[in-house]
Amino acid sequence: MNEQRNTAAGTIPIISVRNVTAGYGDEIIIQDVSFDVFEGEIFSILGRSGCGKTTLFKVMTGLLEPVEGTVLIDGEEICCGESAQTGAVLKKVGVTFQSGALFTSMTLAENAAFPLRLHTRLPADTIEQIVRLKLSEVGLAGFEELLPAELSGGMQKRAALARAMALDPKILFFDEPSAGLDPVTSATLDETILKINKSLGTTMVIVTHELASILRTADRVIMLDREEKTIIAQGSPQELREKSDDPRVRDFFNRSASEPDLSLKR
Amino acid sequence: MISTNLPEENPNNTGTTSHSRAGSSADAELRLGPLGFALDIHEKTFDELSLVLRGRLWVENAEEVRGALMRAVEQEPLKNVVVDLSQIDYIDSSGAAVLMELYRKCRAMNNVLKLARAGPSVQRFLDLVDFDHFKDKPILRPRAAPPLLVQIGGGAERIYRTVQDIITFLGAASIALYEDLRHPRQVKWDPLWKLIERSGSDAVPIVAILSFLMGAILAFQAAIQLRKFGANIFVADLVSVSICLEMGPLLAAIIVAGRSGAAYAAHIGTMQVTEEVDALRLMGVDPIRFLVSPRIVAVGLALPCLTIFADIVGIFGGCVVSVFALDLTPITYFNQVGRVLEVSDVLKGLIKSFAYGVEIAAIGCLRGFQVRGGAESVGQATTSAVVTSVFVLTVTDAVFAMFYHYTRFL
Measure the CA–CA gap between B14 and B37, rounded to whole angstroms: 9
Which stretches does DSSP call E strand in chain A?
13-24, 27-38, 42-46, 68-73, 76-77, 93-96, 171-175, 203-207, 220-224, 231-235
Residues 155-214 of B with CB under 8 A from A: none
pLDDT at B271: 94
- CA of residue A48 relative to chain centroid, distance: 16
Q: In this structure, are residues B386 and B258 in contact, taking their beta carbons and an 8 Å threshold?
A: yes
**Which of chain B's residues have a Cβ under 8 Å away from the Cβ of A113?**
140
Measure the CA–CA gap between B161 and B156, rounded to whole angstroms: 9
Q: In this structure, are residues A55 and A42 in contact, taking their beta carbons and an 8 Å threshold?
A: no
pLDDT at B19: 57
Q: Tens of pLDDT along A163-219?
A: 988 888 889 999 888 887 888 888 888 888 898 888 888 899 999 888 888 888 999
pLDDT at B11: 41
CA dihedral in degrees (B242, B248, B250, B255; nearest 10)? 150
Mean local confidence (pLDDT), A67-93: 72
Inter-chain contacts counted by CB atoms under 8 A, chains A and B: 90
Is A122–B94 a contact, with Cβ atoms under 8 angstroms apart?
A: yes
The mean pLDDT values, 10 residues at a time, for chain B of 410 residues are 36 52 43 78 78 85 87 81 86 85 84 84 78 66 84 94 92 92 85 93 96 95 89 91 94 96 96 90 89 94 96 95 89 93 93 96 95 89 96 96 88
Residues 47-106 of A with CB under 8 A from B: 104-105
| Of B139, B135, B111, B121, residue with least CA distance to B51 | B111
Contact of B122 with chain A, judged by CB distance below 8 Å, is answered with no
pLDDT at B210: 96
pLDDT at A155: 87
Measure the CA–CA gap between B191 and B333, rounded to whole angstroms: 42
A238 to chain B nearest CA, in Å? 28
Q: CB-hemisphere CA count at 13 Å for A64? A: 21
pLDDT at B3: 35
Q: Which of B59, B130, B140 sits opposite A136 (nearest CB)?
A: B130
Q: In this structure, are residues A32 and A55 in contact, taking their beta carbons and an 8 Å threshold?
A: no
Q: Which of residues B328 and A75 earns the better pLDDT score?
A: B328
Contact of B132 with chain A, judged by CB distance below 8 Å, is answered with no
pLDDT at B199: 94
pLDDT at B132: 66
**Which of chain B's residues have a Cβ under 8 Å away from the Cβ of A191?**
none
Q: How far is CA A34 from CA A20, A69, A96, in A?
A: 6, 9, 23
| Of B104, B41, B101, residue with least CA distance to B76 | B41
Q: Which of residues B362 and A230 earns the better pLDDT score?
A: B362
- To the nearest 10 degrees (0 to 180), the angle between helices B293-326 and B330-340 is 130
CA end-to-end distance (rounded Å), chain A: 42
Query: Average pLDDT of chain A?
Result: 82
Mean local confidence (pLDDT), A3-10: 47
Report residue A4's pLDDT band, with 50, 70 and 90 as the boundaries: very low
pLDDT at B133: 61
**Which of chain A's residues have a Cβ under 8 Å away from the Cβ of B381?**
none
- Taking the CB of residue B47, how many other CB atoms lie within 10 A of it? 11
pLDDT at B13: 44
**Which of chain B's residues have a Cβ under 8 Å away from the Cβ of A120?**
59, 94
Q: In this structure, are residues B66 and B97 in contact, taking their beta carbons and an 8 Å threshold?
A: no
Point out which residues pair with A207 in neighbouring strands. A45, A175
